[in-house]
């Protein structure tokens, strides 16, 4: 999940954000140089910075197919995931759900429904920890446990991972590759446009989509544990019909990111 327009700085161990706090970056007062080799303040808050830190990561895919990847983070969440699945089914789209392992364990029925309806699961760590702010042993533990949780429902789900908030580092990238995983970021974010209202956001983001794009959205609002959050995702759900209608009107198809990657050249 990503932070948003304007909100109050809070402690690293307790994050409870509103719906506007979605796709920008929190300005922490200090970054540990050892854990974030880019230097204090050099956060991975843009595609260029993420690529610099993790050249193996995926932001979009060069492809000749009329596909975009729809991705949803932070679930599953019984308040929002069922409605997201209903909208996707209505428009005949499939997606990848970057699920938090602890949420998968808490809501196995929703994880099973995601897979049963033709979508894919992928790894969003076990506890939604910010990986560039923990040691490598913790990074490895979060990736392994997150992979195990999603693999219980989707055997090949562990191949791709999305670091929470897109925060990464060279150390995180090295650990990810060492485990045989590949990070997936995004080229556009639905919640970044919610300031204009759900309908306008869906229309704006949908109108800008091009083949090979990776769309970030969120089906989960609640995470418990070291970095707790509770976010209202109802506006994301409301924005989906406009986005998916634009997608259909442009002759594009929403597919899981795994299929998009297999159909082109990730970059």
Mean pLDDT, rounded, of the chain:
87
**Residues 64-77, mean pLDDT to the nearest whole number:** 98
For the chain, first and last CA: distance in Å? 21
**Looking at residue 46, what is its pLDDT?**
86
Spatial CB neighbours of 227, under 8 Å, sequence gap ≥ 6: 12, 13, 14, 15, 127, 128, 129, 130, 164
Q: Which residues are part of the catalytic machinery?
A: 73, 218
pLDDT tens figures, 214-243: 999 999 999 998 889 999 999 999 999 999
Residue 247 CB: number of other CB atoms within 10 A? 23
Q: pLDDT band at 157, cuts 50/70/90?
A: confident
pLDDT interval class at 47 (50, 70, 90): confident
Q: What pTM was estimated for this model as a whole?
A: 0.86
Tell me the three state secondary structure of residue 3: strand
> pLDDT per residue over 1-23, tens digit each?
443 332 223 333 333 334 334 46
């Amino acid at each position: 999940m990503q932070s948003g327009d304007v909100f109050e700085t809070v402690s690293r161990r307790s994050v409870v954000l509103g719906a506007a706090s979605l796709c920008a970056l929190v300005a922490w007062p200090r970054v540990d140089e050892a854990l974030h080799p880019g230097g204090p303040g050099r956060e991975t808050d843009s595609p260029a910075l993420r690529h610099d830190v993790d050249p193996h990561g995926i932001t979009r895919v060069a492809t000749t197919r009329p596909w975009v990847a729809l991705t949803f983070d932070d679930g599953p969440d019984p308040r929002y995931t069922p409605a997201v699945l209903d909208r996707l089914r209505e428009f005949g789209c499939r997606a990848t759900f970057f699920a938090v392992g602890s949420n998968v364990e808490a809501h196995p029925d929703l994880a099973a429904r995601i897979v049963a309806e033709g979508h894919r699961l992928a790894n969003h760590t076990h506890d939604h920890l910010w990986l560039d702010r923990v040691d490598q042993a913790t990074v490895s533990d979060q990736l392994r446990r997150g992979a195990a949780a999603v693999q219980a429902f989707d055997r090949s789900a562990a191949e791709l991972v999305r670091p929470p908030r897109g925060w990464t580092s060279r150390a995180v990238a090295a650990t990810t590759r060492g485990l045989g995983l590949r990070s997936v970021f995004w080229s556009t974010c639905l919640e970044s446009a919610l300031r204009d209202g759900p309908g306008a956001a869906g229309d704006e983001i949908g109108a800008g989509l091009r083949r090979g794009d990776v769309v970030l959205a969120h089906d989960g609002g609640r995470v418990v544990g070291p970095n707790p959050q509770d976010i209202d995702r109802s506006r994301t759900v409301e924005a989906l019909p406009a986005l998916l209608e634009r997608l259909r009107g442009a002759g594009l198809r929403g597919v899981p990111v795994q299929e998009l990657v297999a159909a082109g050249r990730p970059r």
